[in-house]
Structure 1
């Protein structure tokens, strides 16, 4: 059984990853795709209050489990659109460890800081300043197969760019290059 394709969208909170993922599910026609979002995965855990130490440990385990669920879905042949925030270096390292690098199309989802702040305020469901805090962290590794900017391009246009790019994806992939570092 061939491994499934992983389209991995990385960007700050409110950058448009989920909107792009929804558009991709509508236009990709080379199989069944699943949208796996770290926010959705995290929303399934208990909401009882935890100490800061216990919460940090739970969040780390949750993210590690999320990475392994991506790998498991792709391993059995499912195509996956991942919506993630790689704001801590260990998250990328863990993904590089558990995901097949040749199966991953790594997409940087960028957005201007002013637009992120505007979107975050309009959403009202994120802590104020979260996107600004993540802004310099999520793209620090500096290597993608493809990038899009949602402050100048709509989610539908970004999805179309990704779909058009898939057949011309570079070899080695960004994940292969990053793993080699």
Structure 2
């Protein structure tokens, strides 16, 4: 049987990485974490932030690479699943650099026939700004000020990352801990995934 795939999609600092760690620590079986942070370490410095490119149009020179980098990531996710390894991946999908749905639909198509749960990770922008302000120096997170408490790049992430909003499950880290989010995902898996959001998204690529 192929390994289970869990895709955590949300804005930076929404809590995706913490949920992924909670899944690795509490779920049965081997769970491989393939996501934005781990993939960035494999990306040549000149192409970073790569798949973490935010939807502001600040780096048009990198936008052409994003769909290919995502395609490679999802091919790797599919390969792990076919080898009976479970995968949890944290990403921030947006198609501001391409036609609506193109990149996300293409990624979904690459998981055809595999058990994949697409989870929307939401978080109130006020909480995200608090987390950004508390982040370790050098991470490059945009932070707010008294004059501009929620800068435009952060607001763009909040809006763009959840389009079109087709999910199997949505969780809110403003009110749930990473462990509670992981438990909600466990319950959803127990209830069954198919047919799911990934299949519906993949139809846009056909």
TM-score by length of structure 2 reads 0.78
Which of residues 54, 69, 89 is equivalent to 1:82?
89
Which of residues 112, 123, 129 is equivalent to 1:100?
112
What do residues 21-62 of structure 1 show as CA deviations (whole Å, max 9, x unaligned)? 000001111x21101112220222222489x55433344432
Which of 122-131 and 110-119 deviates more? Answer: 122-131
Q: CA deviation at 1:133?
A: 2.0
Q: Using a 3 Å threshold, how does the CA distance of structure 1 residues 48 and 178 change in structure 2: closer, same or farther?
A: closer
What do residues 112-158 of structure 1 show as CA deviations (whole Å, max 9, x unaligned)? 11111221222151331544221111111122111110011111110
The CA distance in 2 between the partners of 1:142 and 1:36, in whole Å, is: 22
TM-score by length of structure 1 reads 0.88
Contact between 2:109 and 2:199, CA under 8 Å: does it hold in 1?
no
Q: CA deviation at 1:102?
A: 4.8
Contact between 2:3 and 2:84, CA under 8 Å: does it hold in 1?
yes
Instruction: Name the Cα RMSD after superposition.
Output: 2.1
Please, which runs of 5 or more residues in structure 1 have no aligned partner?
A: none
The CA distance in 1 between the partners of 2:27 and 2:47, in whole Å, is: 40
Runs (4+) of structure 1 moved beyond 6 Å? none
The CA distance in 2 between the partners of 1:14 and 1:63, in whole Å, is: 20
Structure having the higher helix fraction is: 1
Secondary structure (helix, strand or coil) at the match of 2:129 reads: helix
Name the structure 2 match of 1:61.
68
The CA distance in 2 between the partners of 1:134 and 1:101, in whole Å, is: 30
The CA distance in 2 between the partners of 1:32 and 1:163, in whole Å, is: 15
Which of residues 152, 159, 165 is equivalent to 2:188?
165
Q: Using a 3 Å threshold, how does the CA distance of structure 1 residues 77 and 60 change in structure 2: closer, same or farther?
A: same
Which of 40-49 and 4-13 deviates more? Answer: 40-49
Number of corresponding residues: 178
Name the structure 2 match of 1:46.
44
Please, which runs of 5 or more residues in structure 2 have no aligned partner?
A: 49-58, 96-100, 143-150
